[in-house]
Amino acid sequence: MSMSLDSAMTGTQNHDDLTRSFAFTTQLDAVMTWGQRNSLWPLAYGTACCGIELMSVMGPKYDLARFGAEVVRFSPRQSDLLLVAGTITEKMAPVLVRIYRQMLEPKYVLSMGVCASSGGFYRAYHVLQGIDKVIPVDVFIPGCPPTPEAVLDGIMLLQKMIKDQNPRPWKQNWKAPEL
Amino acid sequence: MKHLISFDELKSDFVKNQSLQVEKYIFIDAFGDQAIEVPKDDIVVLMQFLFEVKQFDFLIDICGVDYPDRALRFDVVYHLLNSITGQRLRIKSQVAENEGVESVIQVWKGADWFEREAFDMFGIKFHGHPNLRKILTHHEFVGHPLRKDYEASRQQSCATSLPIHFDNEPGSPGDVLNPKLLPLNIGPSHPAMHGTLRVMAELDGETIVRANCEIGYLHRCFEKMAETHPYQQVIPYTDRLNYCSAPMNNIGYCKAVERLLEVEIPPKAQAIRIILAELSRIADHIVAVGTGGVDLGALSAFFHLFVFREKIYDIFEKLCGARLTVSLTRIGGIGNEPPEGWYQLILDFCDSMDKEIDEISRLMLDNKIFVKRTMGVTPIKPQEAVAWGYTGPLLRATGMAHDIRKLKPYYGYDQLDFKIPVGTSGDIYDRYLVRIEEMRESVKIVRQICKNIPEGDYTIRDKSIVLPEKKDVYGNIEGLMNHFMLIIKGIKPPQGEVYDATEAANGELGYYLVSDGSAAPYRLKVRPPCFAIYQSFPSIVKGSMIADAIAAVASMNIIAGELDR
């Protein structure tokens, strides 16, 4: 039925021509990564100063929504991007690992700021010296705290990684720490 | 003129009291601070006396100091405040490694967490404390990190989290959960717990029967870091205490060091510091009100207010290049001269902020849902609040006009025209009301200063304290030498100790600084306003609904950076 309507509109009877005009072929992977990278749902694991700056990233001026990542979920079951913003202490580490393990695949980790990435200038008795000691990290963003522009850059980098389907050996080889 | 109690007066009063060993007391008056060293057996009787007779109503802080070479190894230091006269008194007592001291929790219930912290950090025991457990370090941590023989970088990993536990109250059945009630764990990874707080509750339906807080998830060893860094390098660490209003922490710290060095900063530096402090007070209240709204489901206030916080950050960025953690002040003044047009930028901001405050107060305080969620919820009486050690907007919401800017003005706050807004009932609604009115007052202060900036230098020019300007460092040999020596040797204040407090956005932010004459602080204790406030949480939410507890946490504006340090 629709066929004949369309034919009437375009004034042609050729079935093949019609298909070509509104459909395109692609690979399933490409569609999937397109969807994944443009609808990252972050779990904002904001613990310290970076968490405050992350509010600016989400807020009106910088607006993470432009990159399709505005749906902040605080449930690990509903999110696919773990955005660790702030210092992770030894006391917090088991909680972080548990949250990471509760997330469903595919999942990505973004470490915002030097505290999360390496302990920063807290070379101290109660601070975890980088979250990569306990969970696999895809993108590190330097800064103390990073500017919102840097966070957006980090997210775009992650989107590119998803698009290119880069291999992620740090994730494949990750073993859960014995907690 | 308010009457301050002199040492002679105190001495004659002490002598009348038979139970005190006055002959062993040492009275010290140095750097403008009054301190008394007393034997440890006298502590409780003395505190009782000072509290009841001399109206030292606030227990501001308790902390330890470690002197490993001494026979009686630790100092236990108490800071008291008389909120009527503004007089401060420091009581010190020496204890040996395996000894303990009587807990003062019977005099002030606010001593609870402070004593637990001293126990956790130094291993000082407080007899009679109902629940002397670790508070900041994790439960698998061995040793006491602030002792001088604990190496700053020695990490101990933690593999587990503690289950739900409630042994925080005397007479309660401890960790045994009541099978008829619902145990509920909130946080630390929970949006309403701001990332790092953990609350455990037992519920009957939706009513909280008992609650307990676990903190320390952001304990990043500020005090140990301060001991291992020179005085100037501590400034960036102070930024990260209350990161919502970083310049205020810089100012408080620098003010304490300047008092130890006995220098006075020039009027222009004072004016700029007031501008920075009041702007960051606005920024802090914006976060408190904005995220408080978010926790109650009012997202639009967040979007409205954060536009203005960005404007404040732009002002900071113009001055120093950083947005959040600015490290703007230096010991002896400010880092650099403000750029051209900076004051005009602030005045423009003030004009737009005035309108915004009107709008936000209509948007939130007149909102029926907001009023119903907050009015009459978890109210607290002024006496209770003082006993817990509340300061700042939360204390003022109870109706007590306590503000250090008025009580003991610094940097010329007494020359400025501003009011102290107070609430009446101490409930959540009043807390937001006070915060919003304080923003209005801060705008007023900033405007007055910006229109009347004093002439002169932005810093002192003492070569042993302040680095020379870059043009001198690169331009002549004296400047280069001066820079080199100051970086290598550092600032060396005289031996001694000071306690200095400023009115930060959340209340009294105090720095207790002990110097042994070297280039790094011997001990730096921060008295964070949140710490005293948050310890009251389990008792004030008892009997209220779980949703009210969420609103209560939001209204307290707990900043984990300064809570856990």
Q: Are B253 and B332 in contact (CB under 8 A)?
A: no
- A41-172 maps to CATH 3.40.50.300: no
Give the number of C-alpha atoms closer than 13 A to the C-alpha of residue B480, restricted to the C-beta side.
Answer: 4
Kindly state whether B162 is in contact with chain A, defined as any CB-CB distance less than 8 angstroms: no
Contact criterion met (CB < 8 Å) for A125 and B150: yes
A87-101, A117-131, A163-177: least confidently modelled range: A163-177
pLDDT over threshold 50, residue A4: no
- Taking Cα atoms as reference points, which of B31, B26, B84 lies closest to residue B58? B84
Q: Are B277 and B283 in contact (CB under 8 A)?
A: no
Choice between B41 and B20, residue whose per-residue pLDDT is larger: B41
Q: Is A17 helix (H, G, I), strand (E, B) or coil?
A: helix
Residue B498 pLDDT class (50, 70, 90 cuts):
very high
Contact criterion met (CB < 8 Å) for A48 and B240: yes
pLDDT tens-digit series, residues B345-397:
999 999 999 888 888 888 888 888 889 888 888 889 999 899 999 999 999 99
Q: Are residues B90 and B234 in the same domain?
A: no
Phi and psi at B79, nearest 5°, equal -115, 125
Average the pLDDT over B113-135 and give the result.
88
Identify the closest residue of chain B to A53 by CA–CA distance.
B324
- Taking Cα atoms as reference points, which of B377, B507, B497, B376 lies closest to residue B438? B507
In SS3 terms, B258-288 reads as: HHHHCCCCCHHHHHHHHHHHHHHHHHHHHHH
Q: Is A142 left (phi over 0), alpha (psi -120 to 50) or beta?
A: beta
Q: Is B73 helix (H, G, I), strand (E, B) or coil?
A: coil
Kindly state whether A151 is in contact with chain B, defined as any CB-CB distance less than 8 angstroms: no
Residues of A in contact with B221 (CB under 8 A): 122, 124-127
pLDDT of residue A10: 52
Residue B412 pLDDT class (50, 70, 90 cuts):
confident
pLDDT tens-digit series, residues A87-118:
999 999 998 998 999 998 889 999 999 999 99
Average the pLDDT over A153-166 and give the result.
90
Q: Are residues B523 and B411 in the same domain?
A: yes
Q: Is B236 helix (H, G, I), strand (E, B) or coil?
A: helix
Please indicate, yes or no, if residue B160 is contained in any of the structural domains.
no
Kindly state whether B243 is in contact with chain A, defined as any CB-CB distance less than 8 angstroms: yes
pLDDT tens-digit series, residues B202-213:
889 889 988 888
Q: Which two tokens stand for residue B325?
A: 């953690």
Burial, B148: exposed, middle or buried (Cβ in 10 Å; 0-12, 13-18, 19+)? middle
pLDDT tens-digit series, residues B80-98:
998 888 889 999 999 988 8
Residues of B in contact with A87 (CB under 8 A): 218, 220
Q: What is the mean pLDDT of chain B?
A: 88
Q: Tell me, what's the ipTM?
A: 0.85
pLDDT tens-digit series, residues A12-23:
556 666 555 666
Q: Are B60 and B81 in contact (CB under 8 A)?
A: yes
pLDDT over threshold 80, residue B173: no
Contact criterion met (CB < 8 Å) for B161 and A95: yes
Sign of the alpha-carbon dihedral angle for B535, B507, B553, B431: positive
Residue B269 pLDDT class (50, 70, 90 cuts):
very high
Q: Which two tokens stand for residue A119?
A: 């302990």
Q: Are B217 and B560 in contact (CB under 8 A)?
A: yes
Interface of B with A in 119-138 (CB under 8 A): 136-138
Residue A5 pLDDT class (50, 70, 90 cuts):
very low
Phi and psi at B399, nearest 5°, equal 110, 0
In SS3 terms, B411-425 reads as: CCHHHCCCCCCCCCC
Please indicate, yes or no, if residue B523 is contained in any of the structural domains.
yes
Please indicate, yes or no, if residue B197 is contained in any of the structural domains.
no
Sign of the alpha-carbon dihedral angle for B189, B195, B201, B205: negative
Residue B174 pLDDT class (50, 70, 90 cuts):
low
Q: Is B212 helix (H, G, I), strand (E, B) or coil?
A: strand
Prior bond of A136 cis (ω within 30°): no
Please indicate, yes or no, if residue B103 is contained in any of the structural domains.
yes
Q: Is A26 left (phi over 0), alpha (psi -120 to 50) or beta?
A: beta
Please indicate, yes or no, if residue B287 is contained in any of the structural domains.
yes
pLDDT over threshold 80, residue B146: yes
Q: Which one of B122, B156, B174 terminates a domain? A: B122
Helix (H) or strand (E) holding A149: helix A148-164
Q: Are residues B497 and B357 in the same domain?
A: yes
pLDDT of residue B294: 86
Q: Are residues B502 and B359 in the same domain?
A: yes
- Taking Cα atoms as reference points, which of B545, B496, B540, B538 lies closest to residue B521? B496
pLDDT of residue B257: 92
A·B CB contacts under 8 A: 144
Average the pLDDT over B517-527 and give the result.
91
pLDDT of residue B237: 92
Residue type, B187: G
Number of domains in chain B: 2
**Interface test mutation site (partner A, options B240, B308, B558, max chain A beta carbons within 10 A):** B240
Residue type, B58: F
pLDDT tens-digit series, residues B213-237:
888 898 998 999 999 999 998 999 9
pLDDT over threshold 70, residue B440: yes
Q: Are residues B527 and B388 in the same domain?
A: yes
Q: Is B533 helix (H, G, I), strand (E, B) or coil?
A: helix
pLDDT tens-digit series, residues B461-480:
888 888 888 888 899 999 89
Q: Is A43 helix (H, G, I), strand (E, B) or coil?
A: strand
Q: What is the largest CA-CA distance in chain B?
A: 78
Please indicate, yes or no, if residue B496 is contained in any of the structural domains.
yes
The C-alpha atoms of residue B6 and residue A76 are separated, in whole angstroms, by: 60
Q: Which one of B62, B96, B122 terminates a domain? A: B122
Identify the closest residue of chain B to A49 by CA–CA distance.
B243
Residue B15 pLDDT class (50, 70, 90 cuts):
confident
- CA angle (B104, B109, B112) in 5-degree steps: 75
pLDDT of residue A7: 47
Please indicate, yes or no, if residue B117 is contained in any of the structural domains.
yes
Residues of A in contact with B158 (CB under 8 A): 90-91, 93-94
Phi and psi at B326, nearest 5°, equal -95, -30
Residues of B in contact with A121 (CB under 8 A): 225, 236-237
**Per-residue DSSP letter, B192:** G
Average the pLDDT over B255-279 and give the result.
91
pLDDT of residue B435: 92
Counting residues of chain A whose pLDDT is more than 70, the rounded percentage is 85
pLDDT over threshold 70, residue B340: yes
Identify the closest residue of chain A to B562 by CA–CA distance.
A48
* Boundaries of domain holding B530: 222-564
- How close B225 comes to chain A (CA, Å)? 7
Q: Which one of B122, B147, B178 terminates a domain? A: B122
Contact criterion met (CB < 8 Å) for A126 and B136: yes
Phi and psi at A114, nearest 5°, equal -75, -30
CATH number at residue B42: 3.30.460.80
Kindly state whether A100 is in contact with chain B, defined as any CB-CB distance less than 8 angstroms: no
Residue B169 pLDDT class (50, 70, 90 cuts):
low
Residues of B in contact with A49 (CB under 8 A): 239-240, 243, 324-325, 561
pLDDT over threshold 70, residue B1: no
Please indicate, yes or no, if residue B414 is contained in any of the structural domains.
yes
pLDDT over threshold 90, residue A29: no
**Per-residue DSSP letter, B365:** I
Counting residues of chain B whose pLDDT is more than 90, the rounded percentage is 31
Residue B452 pLDDT class (50, 70, 90 cuts):
confident
pLDDT over threshold 60, residue B170: no
The C-alpha atoms of residue A54 and residue B479 are separated, in whole angstroms, by: 41
B159-164, Cβ contacts within 8 angstroms, sequence gap of 24 or more? B159/A94, B159/A177, B159/A178, B159/A179, B160/A94, B160/A179, B161/A94, B161/A95, B161/A98, B162/B214, B164/B200
